[in-house]
Amino acid sequence: MEFGILGPMFVRDDQGEELVISSARHRVLLASLLIKSNTLVPPADLIEAVWDGKPTTKARATLSSHVMRLRKRLGPDSAKRIRTLPSGYLIAVADDEFDLRRFLALGAAGRRAAAQQNSVTASTRSGCRRSSCGRNPAFGSARARLPSPNSKG
């Protein structure tokens, strides 16, 4: 599976087919999990993002329903990928499955090369092309409702 947020958000299955996440709330939910991938995200943080700071009285129960529907859309192995834990949710994403992680790895490689006074290699430049670095705007339509990746919580 591949996830992209550096530009219009996308999800591709293992065969490379793009999965359409048509619900705006599901896109915001997925983006909120991805921005903190491999980290526990408390329900309160997801509720804040999904309901844009104006949650309903049943938001917590509805959040569980949204997670279930998102898992269904992502396919049969998604319960292993989006985990429900006692204190929140976690999406497990390998570095090579996520354009933001590839981009950050390429940036780190470039900084190491610069520190060693080497030029950036052609493979790093082609890696950026493969990962669609620079597609803008990040997160597409889900962007306005997301917390900063450095925000507490």
Alpha helix segments (H runs only) across the chain:
24-35, 43-50, 59-74, 78-81, 99-115, 122-130
With respect to residue 150, please indicate whether it lies within any of the assigned structural domains.
Answer: no
Q: Which segment of 35-49, 66-80, 130-144 scores lowest on mean pLDDT?
A: 130-144
With respect to residue 14, please indicate whether it lies within any of the assigned structural domains.
Answer: yes
Number of domains, the chain: 1
With respect to residue 38, please indicate whether it lies within any of the assigned structural domains.
Answer: yes
With respect to residue 126, please indicate whether it lies within any of the assigned structural domains.
Answer: no
- Which CATH number does the domain housing residue 26 bear? 1.10.10.10
Domain that holds residue 28: 2-94+136-145
Chain-wide mean pLDDT for the chain?
84
What pTM did the predictor assign? 0.75
**Residue range 49-60, pLDDT digits in tens:** 999 989 999 999
**Residue range 68-122, pLDDT digits in tens:** 999 999 998 898 999 999 999 999 999 999 999 999 988 888 888 777 775 545 4
Burial of 4-41, coded b for 16+ CB within 10 Å and e otherwise, reads bbbbebbbeeeeeeeeebeeebbbbbbbbbbbbbeeeb
With respect to residue 140, please indicate whether it lies within any of the assigned structural domains.
Answer: yes
CA distances from 24 to 77, 87, 127 (A): 22, 24, 30
With respect to residue 85, please indicate whether it lies within any of the assigned structural domains.
Answer: yes
